[in-house]
Amino acid sequence: MTLRENAAPLAASVPAGKALLRVAAKCSNGPSMTDKLVIALAQMTQSVGDLAANADAMLAWRDRAVGADLIVYPELQLIGYPPEDLVLKPALVERANQELDRLAQATADGGPAMLVGTVVAAQGVLFNVVALLEGGAVTQIRQKRELPNYGTFDEKRLFAPGPLPAPIAFRGVKIGVPICEDIWFPFVTAHLKAEGAEILISPNGSPYEVDKDDRRQTMVAGARVRETGLPLAYLNRVGGQDELVFDGASFVMNADFGIAQQMPDWEEALVLTHWEKWDGQWVCLPGEVHVLDERPADIYNAMVLGLRDYVNRNRFPGVVLGLSGGIDSALSAAVAVDALGADRVWCVMMPSRFTSQESLDDAVECARLLGVRYDTIPIEPAVGAFDTMLGEVFAGRQRDLTEENIQSRIRGVTLMALSNKFGHMLLTTGNKSEMSVGYATIYGDMAGGYSVLKDAYKTTVFDLCRWRNDNVPTLGEGFGPAGPVMPQRVITKPPSAELRPDQRDDDSLPPYEVLDPILYGLVEEELSVEQLVARGFDRDTVARIERLLYVAEYKRRQSPPGVKLGSRNFGRDRRYPITNAFRTL
């Protein structure tokens, strides 16, 4: 009997909160009571759509969980999260059923039961579920109730909501399993408590955002533990998926709000948590408590992990980028080396007549410190060719932004040629401040496959550079050098695109110490001009920045993906119309 054959009752005839059962004869014995449990938490990465590889990895981790009664995996571990419209393919759902059967059959060996996140179909709709596998069979299924439909999430497009879930009965213990978003709603956990839940286990696919660790532990876990009086195991996935990066940082909080187990951020990890029942209350015994990264180390590691998984899973041999001697390209190169290793990073200086000797020297020194391949390809021959080509048409017109953008586009074409010829992915180097106000050239410096700085404001870029020159990221293999990755002058000199003589960014923009708080208010907080004026900013400046923000939307719509760092990244979070006449002033 396949899962699909038995799926219809999931939506049609099973009462709310009851499980879909597919119980083998050898699992038909009644539950046995216990006062001790060993629950393995598998903080794993996933590969969206690679179901066989995901299943193989889950079995391998189960083999490592020696002594566990149950091993728990993150949300949608079998198919990968977020699956987006890929999950609408019937072939994927069918393959998920087959792989779930394979996982279930493996539990006939008497080893740990498995709590697996996957997708099931019933009467033409899809459900995001967890399935309990034990004794060679799928014995219980619970559906996700609350489907997030904001920011990066659009699960209501894909899944149907399940009923309020009942606890899963496992060896005489009632385990409530609120799936990811369910844990943010008190009525879900209240229902589980009312139905007799004794322990809460929440499988998650929770993307990284700055300061999200605090929100998970205090605003969510702490609140649910306080309201229910139940201990909570919060399990999150780790790894990059397109613009998103998942930081792990799973934990167990006891009913007294003590953290019994804190798993590391950014890395896969497996822990065996030991549970005992004391005076009728389940308690997780103390385990290892890792210290999580603080800002800006967490931001830097998010960039490293996001880029590493994007490049590796899309099977690029490495990355190529323009190294200008400026701060953005220096940081992008450092992140790339930390993510991939110096032998997979190719930096190219493309000087023009406006490139300063300082920039030339700084680019060389960056490349030396990082140990990367470094080539120089002057663009003056191409600039001269364009001057000749367009000279007759441009006759009588003053040189202006057009000629500046031609230089940027020549550089983009040059780098794309290297990418096409050698297979390296082109890494763009623009930051969020530039992308916000349109100070980026479409088909020029915006050309490429990925941007690690896309969600980092310029002031954040400065912070990250200072931090990286004094620290080594702890993530993974630690490919990058232990010492500084750029000369100090890269951080201290005034930023410039060097597309005309003596150009500086603050010729046409407010200083970044002023610009970035305005942009943060307009983008992350959705404030009006008047609200920002009330904070002390100049009205004309704010109104001008708001106008630049809106008119650059068409550029951002065509920009490459980049690592999400804050609450309103361009692309998945902030989705504005290109044609837009609204202004707040």
**Which among 354, 358, 300 has a CA at the least distance from the CA of 331?**
300
The region, left, alpha or beta by phi > 0 then psi within -120 to 50, assigned to residue 218 is: alpha
Query: Which position among 75, 181, 209, 404 bears the catalytic label?
Result: 75
- Whether 181 sits among the annotated catalytic residues: the reply is no
How many other C-beta atoms can be found within 10 angstroms of the C-beta atom of residue 232? 25
Query: Which position among 99, 134, 144, 284 bears the catalytic label?
Result: 144
Helix/strand/coil (H/E/C) assignment for every residue in 266-309: CCCEEEEEEEEEECCEEEECCCCECCCCCCCHHHHHHHHHHHHH
Helix axes 380-394, 401-422, angle to 10 degrees: 140
- Whether 84 sits among the annotated catalytic residues: the reply is no
Query: Which position among 99, 146, 155, 180 bears the catalytic label?
Result: 180
Under a CB-based contact definition with an 8 Å cutoff, are residues 297 and 286 in contact?
no
**Which among 63, 70, 61, 68 has a CA at the least distance from the CA of 43?**
61
Q: Give whole-number Cα distances, 568 to 100, 456, 523, 576, in Å.
A: 36, 11, 7, 12
Lookup: tokens for 246: 């998942």
Under a CB-based contact definition with an 8 Å cutoff, are residues 266 and 238 in contact?
yes
Q: Are strands 425-428 and 319-322 parallel, antiparallel or unpaired?
A: parallel
Q: What is the dihedral of CA 313, 316, 317, 321, to 10 degrees?
A: -120
- Whether 75 sits among the annotated catalytic residues: the reply is yes
In angstroms, the CA 379 to CA 314 distance is 30
Q: Give DSSP secondary structure letters for 160-204.
A: ---PPPPPEEETTEEEE---GGGGG-HHHHHHHHHTT--EEEEEE
In angstroms, the CA 521 to CA 462 distance is 20
Stated as kind and residue range, the H or E segment containing 133 is strand 125-134
> With b meaning 16 or more CB within 10 Å and e meaning fewer, what string describes 332-342?
bbbbbbbbbbb
In angstroms, the CA 78 to CA 53 distance is 9
Give residue 29's identity as a one-letter amino acid code: N
Helix, strand, coil fractions of the chain, as percent rounded to 5: 40, 20, 40
In angstroms, the CA 570 to CA 576 distance is 9
Contacts of 513 (CB under 8 A, 6+ apart): 459
Helix axes 512-523, 539-551, angle to 10 degrees: 60
> Which residues participate in catalysis according to the annotation?
75, 144, 180
